[in-house]
Copies of this chain bind each other. A is one copy, B any other.
């Protein structure tokens, strides 16, 4: 699985650390880190929560990135 660079970029654009994004969506820092590094596939519910904080849509952050 490839890295999710779009998510990392969107997070940087909102000036959030992995820890801050994790707290905003209610998961741990390691989960955010693993998603950005493509280590495993998150739940769509978590994806939606991340999208809302980063002000992006599912297609913008997670489409064709599997």
A contact residues vs B (CB 8 Å cutoff) = 41-45, 47-48, 57-59, 62-64, 66
Q: How far is the CA of A66 from the CA of B62 in the complex (A)?
A: 16
Chain B's nearest CB lies how many Å from the CB of A1?
9
26 contacts between A and B (CB under 8 A): A41-B43, A41-B44, A41-B45, A42-B43, A42-B44, A43-B43, A43-B44, A44-B44, A44-B47, A44-B58, A44-B62, A44-B66, A45-B66, A48-B62, A48-B63, A48-B64, A48-B66, A57-B58, A57-B59, A57-B63, A58-B58, A58-B59, A58-B62, A58-B63, A59-B59, A59-B63
Q: How far is the CA of A45 from the CA of B1 in the complex (A)?
A: 11
